[in-house]
A and B are shown apart, each in its own frame.
Chain A
């Protein structure tokens, strides 16, 4: 009896462990099935980039044409333009967005009146949660020919500017409105970084006679540097994200020259124009570059900041 008592629980536990593992697989199964259908099946569908894909014939019946679509793509003058626009717009958003968010976080940290701080935070986080469908209306309302900004320009005796229809102004408008939407939300993480700076350093510096500006420059910013660096590296893959929602809601044929991005181009040519294989080829090219950027960013993050994305 005594012997049995000792063995039986051990066996039970082994059985339990085995059962637990089975349960783990079962728990993962539903999610994996969704990924299989909606993530991995489209990856398989990439073969269409090497075919003359006809929906009626499907992936197996369509004729293979090798790299035909890629050759065509690289010979189009549009492609260089579209990639250049995407990168300029995305880089502008990343750089100016981060700078404003950092500056805002540093200034907000100085606000001692709770009511002011809380109210401002509530307001500046709000645009992040609104759809570009809504915000595009706001932007148009401000920047159209008879919009508020042009009325102001007019009252100062300046000429009206067709911001939405000008190839000079369209990119700055995209970058500016995105910075406006996101700087508040992006400042959250920088605020957390500022909070983690040792207050003793500030006290010591004050005693030594350092003014506020010097303390920000020599203590706060260096203290935030790891986070700034990490976020900068991790935003690297985003240089191929023009932001479909924003661009689609604001652009028009007049500004395709400077406003057309990879996403909007694939949507128009591939889906609306039903040139499925070509659209898939452009999409694949972009995905591959994106993947390379993400992997490099992850390696860089690991190397320089000892943290990583995945």
Chain B
């Protein structure tokens, strides 16, 4: 750290504070600008004069979203998906992590399972074969296609396994003497002491499932089945259109686009609110996750 009170150290400190705070602002302001746009009047958005405060404050964009049935349908598809995926992920993670946290002496087949799991993590059939398998299972256009393919988050299994390895053996031995079965040991000994790590993987699962738009894009043929991010993606970002309208200066196109911009900003704000609600918890736990997860086996 910088010590002392001489002029040069003071200048040094000032520069460091300046850079760090600037980087913070560089992250915050573009996001804040979207919020301001979402609350601005159409004309101001069209003139592109909205900075950090709404111009001609208006909640019209939000009122329009309230009436957009598909937005809310997609929103609740995503809520449902997150709930299902979270439950399934957590159950499978603890059930798999516990036996894998045993030594080879305690559980002879442990390394075989571990190798299978690691292979599945390192190698994949790729996008197209996965699509064909899922299609053959008749899962296309169902909610399950958003949940089941990611049922086993291998990185999280390994993270929890590493955490279980660190649980003091004496706790388990005491439970064994009391005649507890492995399942009882898992739920009464391991899970209660692993709550921070489990919170971490739970948050990974929530964020990943909420933000994913690719599965919706690939596996859903009807817009009515889109999860929220796929729906927003399908509406908001037509870059080809933007590039074209920019070069040709087509006035009509510009107007349509600008109206969209206001509305899209509002859609993005609403779709981000669920993540902002859990963000304080996220921030608390993910540091644990990264530090535990980076020390392997």
Contact = CB atoms under 8 A, between A and B. Distances in A.
Contact of A294 (B122, B157, B265, B295): B122
Interface in B142-159: 148-149, 151-152, 157-158
A107 to B, nearest CB: 5
Given A130-B211, A138-B30, A251-B239, A145 B246 contact: yes
B2 interface: yes
B1 A280 contact: no
A54 B100 CA distance: 40
B282 A129 contact: yes
A303 interface: no
Given A125-B283, A133-B213, A110 B116 contact: no
A138 B286 CA distance: 25
Interface stretch (B16-24, B57-65, B163-171, B193-201): B16-24
A123 B27 contact: yes
* Interface SS of chain B: helix
A24, A41, A183, A248 pick with most chain B CB within 10 angstroms: A24
- B: contact size bracket: 35 or more
B31 interface: yes
A162 B246 contact: yes
Contacts of B294: 189
Given A126-B279, A137-B265, A308-B297, A31 B129 contact: no
Contacts of B126: 42, 46, 266, 279-280, 283-284, 286-287
B5 interface: no
B236 A133 contact: yes
A250 interface: yes
A112, A165, A184 pick with most chain B CB within 10 angstroms: A165
Contact of B297 (A53, A126, A266, A310): A310
B53 to A, nearest CB: 15
Contact of B129 (A24, A28, A280): A280
A14 interface: no
Interface string A138-152: 101110111110010
Instruction: Please give me the 6 A-B residue pairs with the lowest Cβ-Cβ distance, nearest first.
Output: A42-B125, A283-B126, A45-B129, A131-B211, A145-B246, A24-B99
Interface of A: 16, 19-21, 23-25, 27-28, 30-32, 34-35, 37-46, 48, 53, 55, 58-59, 104, 107-112, 116, 119-127, 129-134, 136-138, 140-142, 144-148, 151, 162, 164-165, 180, 183-184, 188-189, 192, 202, 206, 212, 244-245, 248-254, 263, 266-267, 270-271, 276, 279-280, 283-284, 286-287, 290-291, 294-295, 307-310
